[in-house]
């Protein structure tokens, strides 16, 4: 079924099985040691080299079938992207180099950082295409990415301090912690063994077969086996002193959390069996794996990452039963993690250009779960949010191409590799995947799409149960072409035009239109144009639905959008004269009474909607009179329509609008999110009408009616949040009211007093829910009342002194101080109140009510404070940098970005710099200096080589500040020609290995030691090259490795002849030695200084085993660089030991195999509980609008009786 050919060409072998054995993990030292063993089936008889991905790991030795040592070469061009060009500072050049560096190690191009040369003894074996085992011993010390160690700064043993480690990364970053073929397209079965201290638990992919204590009884080994073929990027691990909670409803699901959190873990996960039931029922197929594990960790890289049979989640998702807001988001995250088990890990993408499929399908499945759990309104609301996000991104930043094989985009980064893509792009990309999948659902029908998905799962399940030889493991991979094929098989439909339109090109359709009613013809004349000039616009040709609500009912009309056609007619059904008594039928079939006095007496049209079901990725600017929007808001049942109406009514500040919004706000049949939006819109409308309005401030009366106590409406009732709709309104209305302004454009004093009284009378003593989010909302509200201060400042730049603080400021500060101080003594959940207080203080500073002070925020941004607070403080600091432009603050935050232990905080700080940049290109600023350029350039060029998210973030910042061209603050390099001539040899990126070099490496037959380049050594090289100048373009290229797609010069590669002099130290100090050691000696003499840096620890064992005499200096160096923490485990004594142990493992594995079969049948679903009223329903009742407000429920709008 799947296309195998493409990958086979570039990778002449197949992976059948991989063993990953972690022999020891040292949490304090942040290191681990182990080996991997890959069972490789050669596909070509002349296979001589095998390429493996590995970064950051130290490789000790590589052996084949436990018999032969194999020579290997290590080179990683991604450590430093633009090495030769010390003065190149434009982003286009970087982008090009970045992508080619990534391709140079991309396993899908048949590349990898490690090249292993198979020993000649194996040639016979390979000629017979017999599988062989490739064993790589490695260790990892203090990793900067891929694997994250959380070691709290507490005395005592690590396991008592909740120290733990887990895999942290996004796509294809397993190579950062163990050598593997780091591609989704090479699934294999896995045996994973992890030996840890007795107090720790190791959680990884697959079934836990057994836990065996080591002979000294101090440690134990967790044996896992994963029988379903899985690709390396889907392998994850977490080790720590976890508390274990077995799901009471599904015993095969196990939850893990850090110490002391079991109680909230139980509450958080108590509904997850419903997600499993839902997906299994929907797909009518079993959950593909035999077990599932949730691990909640601190300092998580992202909220959730999915691996085969397990998810690593942020511990901050845990919550108790007193928390409302977090429940909704946590459930969504957990449900999506389960969906990703089906699509994402079990069925994975074939290549990066197919990533949209598993992402889209898992997002779609999760969407259906949300629809069931939180109701259709919530589902549609989210869709409309995603749609808006995607539109905004494409309009402001640039197009999103789901399948980038055919077209690249015009971004400042390449979208063809997961490692080069901007994280912001990825967010929008994910939303777009989901939207496109949902559009496909509407195109081919929900039933059929589910059938397709079901078929995919069924095929994958059968494929997975076969042996590797059967070549069915490709069924576990999903590619655009195979998806196309399976859709046509199942449904008989050809969706390639659909894919061509939405998947392989970017953009949203942008319509703007209006209409007039022609009374004579009884026809609505519609004009619809597309705005093709806008950024991120797409020229849409195809069907479009327009819904018209007339007096006699609602009707759908389908038009065909063609080029150059903009006029359309809709013949009306209703007569103009209307029957007073008659009720008006809506799309849902309901009939309602309407007050029709507002509308045009001649026209039967109540309102019109374009693309009501969001069948297209489109942005519609629609013109209709205000009364139509008001009718649409009041009577249309689709919440998306109500939303559109609210947005449009902002521009019609009339009494009618005000009435409509007020009615919606009060209507408890209306979806709560719509009411919340109505409140904000009402504030805007009231502000526009401030001159003509007399009476109490908007919403004051409503609020008192809803929340005031009976005997005294001015005092708010004691909190009781059991009605969730009211709870959300309670949080929203004060915020909306705080936006009210009187004629002097300040917040009316009675509103300010009202908010202060909410503070005063807040009483949560009888509430079963926590009021932390409500209190945070109050702080937020009070900060929104603040308007720019009118002060007479004698010294500019200084804020007011203590004496001239205004009365309101003092009151606000009084509350903030009290709340902030109280938070230190009685902290609330996730410190939401502190977060709001920090942002309120920044607001006061910004508007000149307080002196601007950044040190305060810096203390809250330090490591060791809860992450949410840190993020809020970083927001404030970034904002401060923008207004004050002090270089020391900018460097402070860059320092945080470079050194903070929490990787997410670093990423967040960079993202904030993108969203709220201190300056933009072409702007002048005190920060616009060469030093900053160099700092950022260094970050993206080499500092973040182990974390592609940070590297791309840094590139985003660079782009925001300087654009794509060379920053204007840099001097123009003038004498570069001379320099570059002189140093021509250094221009090559030393990490690029030209093919001919590899050939040489191949051809050499002596048993020479194999050198490798370590991260440090390459950096040393850089240091040496740093004064080299060139702009590149003028250089005559000697030989090119890969033809460059742009005008920019690729890193030059030297011809063979020049290798001995120009090759950077460490890579090839042996390759030239095919001839002799004389040459090597010469190299060493030439560069004596960096020699110790090139320590090649990994050589030790191979050298020892082969008994070759090696220079003692290197040997000493290698000994000293071995991780001390594993002194006993180092395979330094002799390779013979390791070989024997590896043989052991083989025998052991055979035994395990039998075991595994026993466990295979253990998977039983025990959750077929009979109740129709599960626990979750009780909890969710209020969210589920279909229960609470039945009239709001959306029914299928395309019911046949409405078709014309």
Residue (243 or 552) nearer to other proteins, CB: 243
Q: Is 542 in the site for other proteins (CB under 8 A)?
A: no
Smallest gap from residue 36 Cβ to other proteins (A): 13
The beta strands (E) that lie in 151-236 are given as 164-168, 188-197, 201-204, 207-213, 219-230
CB 721 within 8 A of CB 711: no
Taking CA atoms, 819 is separated from 324, 720, 730, 852, 858, in Å, by: 21, 21, 19, 21, 19
Residue (214 or 1055) nearer to other proteins, CB: 214
Q: Is 251 in the site for other proteins (CB under 8 A)?
A: yes
Smallest gap from residue 864 Cβ to other proteins (A): 2
How far apart (Å, rounded) are the C-alpha atoms in residues 169 and 148?
A: 9
- 254-262, 348-356, 467-475, 590-598 -> range binding other proteins (CB under 8 A): 254-262
Smallest gap from residue 140 Cβ to other proteins (A): 15
Q: Is 533 in the site for other proteins (CB under 8 A)?
A: no
Q: Is 766 in the site for other proteins (CB under 8 A)?
A: yes
Q: Is 17 in the site for other proteins (CB under 8 A)?
A: no
Residue (481 or 764) nearer to other proteins, CB: 764
Residues 670-729 that bind other proteins (CB under 8 A): 709, 711-712, 715
Residue (568 or 904) nearer to other proteins, CB: 904
Chain centroid offset of residue 1191 CA? 37
Chain centroid offset of residue 125 CA? 44
Smallest gap from residue 1172 Cβ to other proteins (A): 8
Q: Is 1150 in the site for other proteins (CB under 8 A)?
A: no
Q: Is 581 in the site for other proteins (CB under 8 A)?
A: no
Nearest CA to 916 out of 863, 957, 970 is that of 957
H-run or E-run covering 929:
none
- Which residue is it, tokens 């033809």? 1043
Question: Tokens at residue 877, please?
Answer: 């600091």
Smallest gap from residue 788 Cβ to other proteins (A): 18
- 191-199, 486-494, 1001-1009, 1114-1122 -> range binding other proteins (CB under 8 A): 191-199
Residue (744 or 1162) nearer to other proteins, CB: 1162
Taking CA atoms, 924 is separated from 766, 886, 927, 931, 968, in Å, by: 56, 13, 8, 15, 10
Smallest gap from residue 196 Cβ to other proteins (A): 11
Question: Tokens at residue 84, please?
Answer: 């030769």
Applying CB under 8 A, which of residues 254, 305, 588, 1101 lies at the interface with other proteins?
A: 254
Helical axes 423-444 vs 446-465, angle rounded to 10°: 110
Residues 489-508 that bind other proteins (CB under 8 A): none
Cβ-based neighbours of 29, under 8 Å, separated by 6 or more: 141, 142, 1123, 1124, 1125
Q: Is 419 in the site for other proteins (CB under 8 A)?
A: no
CB 624 within 8 A of CB 598: no
Q: Is 209 in the site for other proteins (CB under 8 A)?
A: yes
CB 395 within 8 A of CB 387: no
Q: Is 154 in the site for other proteins (CB under 8 A)?
A: yes
Residue (161 or 1102) nearer to other proteins, CB: 161
How far apart (Å, rounded) are the C-alpha atoms in residues 314 and 333?
A: 10
Residues 26-65 that bind other proteins (CB under 8 A): 34-35
Q: Is 311 in the site for other proteins (CB under 8 A)?
A: no
- 74-82, 768-776, 939-947, 985-993 -> range binding other proteins (CB under 8 A): 768-776
Applying CB under 8 A, which of residues 971, 1036, 1128, 1190 lies at the interface with other proteins?
A: 1128
Residue (207 or 1030) nearer to other proteins, CB: 207
Applying CB under 8 A, which of residues 559, 856, 919, 1202 lies at the interface with other proteins?
A: 856
Question: Tokens at residue 492, please?
Answer: 């008989």
Number of DSSP helices (H) and strands (E) in the chain, helices first? 38, 31
Pairing mode, strands 188-197 and 13-26 = parallel
Q: Is 542 exposed, middle or buried (0-12, 13-18, 19+ CB in 10 A)?
A: middle
Residues 785-824 that bind other proteins (CB under 8 A): 799, 801-802, 813-814, 816-818, 820-822, 824
How far apart (Å, rounded) are the C-alpha atoms in residues 696 and 700?
A: 7
- 241-249, 525-533, 563-571, 905-913 -> range binding other proteins (CB under 8 A): 241-249
Q: Is 148 in the site for other proteins (CB under 8 A)?
A: no
Applying CB under 8 A, which of residues 264, 649, 755, 854 lies at the interface with other proteins?
A: 264
Applying CB under 8 A, which of residues 113, 182, 207, 378 lies at the interface with other proteins?
A: 207
Residue (572 or 840) nearer to other proteins, CB: 840
Smallest gap from residue 265 Cβ to other proteins (A): 10
Torsion angles phi and psi, residue 222, rounded to 5 = -90, 125
Residue (396 or 766) nearer to other proteins, CB: 766
How far apart (Å, rounded) are the C-alpha atoms in residues 132 and 130?
A: 6
Number of residues that bind other proteins (CB under 8 A): 115
Residue (201 or 980) nearer to other proteins, CB: 201
Smallest gap from residue 1014 Cβ to other proteins (A): 24
The beta strands (E) that lie in 66-120 are given as 68-69, 71-74, 114-117
Q: Is 298 in the site for other proteins (CB under 8 A)?
A: yes
Q: Is 1148 in the site for other proteins (CB under 8 A)?
A: yes
Q: Is 940 in the site for other proteins (CB under 8 A)?
A: no
Residues 218-237 that bind other proteins (CB under 8 A): 219-221
How far apart (Å, rounded) are the C-alpha atoms in residues 674 and 645?
A: 10
Cβ-based neighbours of 86, under 8 Å, separated by 6 or more: 1025, 1026, 1027, 1028, 1029, 1030
Smallest gap from residue 831 Cβ to other proteins (A): 5
Residues 1176-1195 that bind other proteins (CB under 8 A): 1176-1178
Smallest gap from residue 159 Cβ to other proteins (A): 13
CB 544 within 8 A of CB 616: yes
**For residue 799, is it left (φ>0), alpha (ψ between -120 and 50) or beta?**
beta
Residue (46 or 153) nearer to other proteins, CB: 153
Applying CB under 8 A, which of residues 586, 850, 878, 893 lies at the interface with other proteins?
A: 850
Applying CB under 8 A, which of residues 51, 294, 557, 830 lies at the interface with other proteins?
A: 830
Chain centroid offset of residue 899 CA? 22
Q: Is 863 in the site for other proteins (CB under 8 A)?
A: yes
Q: Is 828 in the site for other proteins (CB under 8 A)?
A: yes
CB atoms within 10 A of CB 302: 17
Residues 989-1028 that bind other proteins (CB under 8 A): none
Question: Tokens at residue 563, please?
Answer: 């080029």
Question: Tokens at residue 989, please?
Answer: 């990126």
Smallest gap from residue 239 Cβ to other proteins (A): 14
Question: Tokens at residue 517, please?
Answer: 């009613």
Q: Is 569 in the site for other proteins (CB under 8 A)?
A: no
Q: Is 1173 in the site for other proteins (CB under 8 A)?
A: yes
Q: Is 313 in the site for other proteins (CB under 8 A)?
A: no
H-run or E-run covering 238:
strand 237-240
CB 257 within 8 A of CB 266: no
Applying CB under 8 A, which of residues 3, 6, 322, 1082 lies at the interface with other proteins?
A: 322
How far apart (Å, rounded) are the C-alpha atoms in residues 356 and 143?
A: 30
Q: Is 875 in the site for other proteins (CB under 8 A)?
A: no
CB 165 within 8 A of CB 150: yes
Q: Which one-letter DSSP state was computed for residue 420?
A: T
Residue (96 or 867) nearer to other proteins, CB: 867
């Amino acid at each position: 079924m799947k296309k195998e050919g493409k990958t086979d060409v570039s990778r002449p072998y197949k992976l059948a099985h991989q063993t990953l054995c972690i022999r020891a993990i040292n949490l304090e030292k942040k290191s681990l040691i182990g080996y991997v063993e890959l069972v490789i089936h050669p596909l070509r008889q002349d296979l001589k080299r095998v390429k493996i991905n590995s970064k950051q790991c130290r490789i000790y030795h590589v052996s084949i079938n436990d018999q032969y040592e194999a020579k290997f070469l290590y080179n990683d061009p991604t450590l430093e992207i633009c090495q030769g060009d010390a003065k190149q500072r434009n982003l286009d050049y970087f982008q090009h180099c970045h992508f080619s560096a990534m391709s140079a190690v991309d396993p899908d191009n048949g590349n990898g950082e490690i090249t292993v040369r198979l020993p000649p003894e194996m040639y016979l074996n390979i000629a017979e295409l017999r599988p062989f085992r490739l064993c790589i011993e490695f260790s990892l010390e203090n990793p900067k990415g891929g694997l994250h160690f959380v070691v709290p700064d507490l005395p005592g043993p690590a396991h008592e301090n909740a120290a733990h480690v887990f895999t942290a990364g996004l796509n294809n970053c397993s190579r950062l912690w163990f050598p593997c073929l780091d591609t989704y397209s090479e699934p294999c079965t896995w045996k994973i063994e992890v030996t840890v201290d007795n107090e720790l638990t190791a959680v990884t992919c697959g079934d836990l077969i057994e836990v065996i204590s080591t002979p000294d009884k101090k440690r134990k080994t967790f044996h896992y086996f994963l029988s379903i073929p899985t690709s390396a990027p889907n392998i994850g691990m977490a080790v720590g002193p976890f508390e274990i909670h077995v799901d009471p409803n599904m015993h095969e699901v196990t939850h893990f959390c850090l110490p002391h959190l079991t109680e909230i873990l139980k509450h958080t996960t108590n509904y997850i069996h419903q997600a499993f039931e839902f997906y299994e029922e929907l797909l009518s197929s079993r959950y593909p794996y035999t077990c599932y594990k949730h691990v909640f960790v601190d300092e998580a890289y992202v909220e959730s990452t999915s691996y085969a049979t397990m998810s690593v989640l942020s511990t901050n998702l845990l919550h108790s039963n007193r928390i409302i807001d977090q429940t909704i988001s946590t459930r969504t995250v957990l449900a999506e993690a389960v969906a990703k088990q089906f699509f994402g890990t079990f069925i994975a993408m074939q290549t990066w250009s197919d990533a949209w499929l598993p992402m889209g399908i898992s997002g779609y499945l999760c969407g259906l779960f949300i629809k069931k759990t939180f109701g259709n309104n919530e589902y549609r609301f989210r869709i409309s949010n995603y749609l808006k996000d995607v539109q905004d991104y494409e309009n402001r930043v640039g197009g999103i191409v789901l399948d980038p094989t055919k077209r690249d985009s015009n971004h400042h980064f390449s979208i063809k590799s997961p490692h080069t893509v901007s994280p912001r792009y990825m967010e929008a990309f994910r939303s777009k995947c989901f939207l496109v999948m949902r559009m496909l659902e509407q195109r081919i029908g929900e039933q059929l799409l589910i059938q397709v998905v079901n078929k995919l799962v069924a095929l994958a399940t059968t494929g997975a149960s076969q042996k590797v030889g059967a070549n069915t493991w490709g069924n576990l991979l999903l590619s655009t072409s195979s998806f196309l094929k399976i859709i046509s098989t199942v449904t008989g439909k050809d969706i390639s035009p659909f894919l061509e339109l939405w998947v392989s090109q970017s953009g949203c359709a942008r319509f703007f239109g209006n209409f007039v009613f022609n009374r004579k013809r009884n026809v609505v004349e519609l004009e619809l144009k597309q705005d093709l000039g806008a950024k991120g616009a797409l020229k849409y040709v195809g069907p479009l639905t327009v819904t018209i609500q007339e007096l006699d009912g609602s009707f759908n009309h389908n038009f065909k959008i063609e080029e150059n056609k903009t006029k359309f007619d809709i013949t009306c059904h209703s007569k103009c004269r209307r029957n007073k008594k008659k009720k008006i039928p809506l799309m849902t079939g309901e009939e309602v009474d309407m007050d029709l006095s507002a509308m045009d007496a001649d026209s039967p049209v109540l309102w019109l909607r374009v693309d009501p079901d969001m069948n297209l990725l489109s942005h519609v600017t629609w013109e209709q009179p205000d009364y139509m929007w008001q009718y649409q808001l009041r009577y249309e049942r689709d919440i998306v329509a109500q939303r559109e109406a609210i947005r449009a009514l902002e521009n019609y500040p009339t009494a009618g609008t005000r009435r409509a919004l007020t009615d919606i706000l009060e209507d408890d049949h209306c979806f709560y999110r719509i009411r919340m939006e109505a409140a904000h819109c009402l504030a805007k409308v009231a502000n526009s009408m401030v001159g003509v309005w007399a009476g109490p401030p908007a919403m004051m009366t409503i609020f008192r009616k809803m929340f005031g106590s009976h005997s005294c409406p001015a005092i708010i009732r004691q909190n009781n949040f059991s009605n969730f709709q009211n709870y959300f309104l309670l949080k929203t209305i004060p915020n909306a009211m705080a936006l009210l302004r009187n004629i002097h454009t300040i917040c009316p004093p009675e509103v300010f007093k009202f908010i202060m009284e909410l503070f005063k009378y807040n009483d949560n003593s009888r509430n079963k829910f926590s009021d932390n989010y409500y209190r945070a909302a109050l702080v937020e509200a009070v900060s929104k009342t603040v308007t720019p201060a009118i002060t007479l400042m004698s010294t500019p730049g200084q804020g007011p002194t203590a004496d001239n603080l205004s009365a309101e400021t003092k009151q606000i500060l009084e509350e903030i101080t009290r709340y902030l101080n109280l938070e230190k003594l009685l902290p609330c959940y996730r410190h939401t109140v502190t977060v709001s207080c920090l942002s309120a203080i920044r607001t006061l500073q910004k508007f000149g009510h307080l002196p601007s002070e950044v040190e305060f925020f810096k203390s809250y941004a330090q490591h060791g404070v809860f992450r949410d607070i840190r993020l809020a403080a970083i927001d404030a600091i970034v904002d401060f940098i923008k207004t004050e432009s002090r270089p020391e603050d900018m460097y402070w935050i860059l320092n945080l970005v470079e050194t903070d232990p929490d990787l997410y905080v670093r990423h967040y700080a960079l993202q904030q710099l993108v969203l709220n940049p201190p300056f933009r290109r072409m702007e002048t600023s005190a920060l616009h200096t060469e030093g900053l350029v160099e700092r950022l350039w260094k970050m993206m060029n080499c500092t973040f080589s182990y974390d592609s998210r940070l590297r791309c973030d840094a590139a985003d910042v660079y782009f925001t500040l300087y654009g794509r061209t060379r920053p204007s603050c840099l001097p123009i390099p003038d004498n570069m020609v001379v320099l570059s001539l002189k140093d021509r040899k250094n221009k090559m990126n030393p990490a690029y290995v030209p093919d001919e070099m590899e050939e040489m490496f191949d051809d050499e037959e002596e048993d020479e030691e194999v050198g490798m380049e370590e991260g440090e050594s390459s950096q040393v090289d850089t240091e040496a090259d740093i004064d080299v100048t060139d702009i590149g373009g003028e250089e005559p290229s000697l030989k090119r490795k890969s033809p460059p797609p742009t005008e920019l010069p690729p890193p030059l590669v030297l011809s063979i002849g020049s290798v001995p002099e120009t090759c950077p130290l460490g890579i090839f100090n042996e390759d030239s030695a095919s001839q002799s050691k004389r040459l090597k000696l010469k190299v060493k003499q030439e560069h004596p200084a960096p020699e110790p840096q090139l320590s090649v620890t990994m050589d030790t064992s191979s050298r020892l085993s082969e008994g070759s005499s090696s220079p003692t200096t290197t040997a000493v160096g290698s000994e000293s660089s071995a991780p001390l923490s594993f002194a006993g485990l180092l395979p330094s004594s002799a390779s013979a030991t390791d070989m024997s142990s590896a043989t052991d493992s083989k025998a052991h594995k055979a035994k395990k195999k039998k075991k595994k079969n026993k466990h295979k049948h253990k998977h039983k679903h025990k959750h077929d509980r009979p109740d129709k009223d599960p626990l979750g329903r009780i909890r969710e009742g209020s969210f589920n609008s279909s229960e609470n407000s039945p009239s709001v429920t959306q029914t299928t709008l395309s019911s046949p009786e409405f078709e014309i």
